[in-house]
Amino acid sequence: MDRMFRVLGFWTGIFAVMFYIGHMDEVALLFFAQTVFFIILGYLKLTERMYLYIFGAYLTIFFAGFTYYTTFFMVPGAGH
């Protein structure tokens, strides 16, 4: 399970670089922070149950933040 967090760190790092190249600096910083978080977690050697609890908490925070963002910050009809 710890290798999976290192894989997540790798992919968030790839996304962070792509966002940075695309001049999306705020999102790139967010993804660099997630990269560091996942890489550190990958080397902690926790139990599988603890890894699942941490991942569940991460998903809960992500979905709450994403729902808040899409509800209050995305302007309806902005593409028209």
CA distances from 27 to 9, 11, 34, 56, 60 (A): 15, 14, 11, 22, 19
At 33, list the tokens.
């922070």
Report which of 72, 78, 10, 16 is spatially closest to residue 41, judged by C-alpha positions: 10
Taking only the tens place, the pLDDT of each residue in 16-42 is: 999 999 999 999 999 999 999 999 999
Angle between helices 48-72 and 2-21 (to 10 degrees): 30
What pTM was estimated for this model as a whole?
0.79
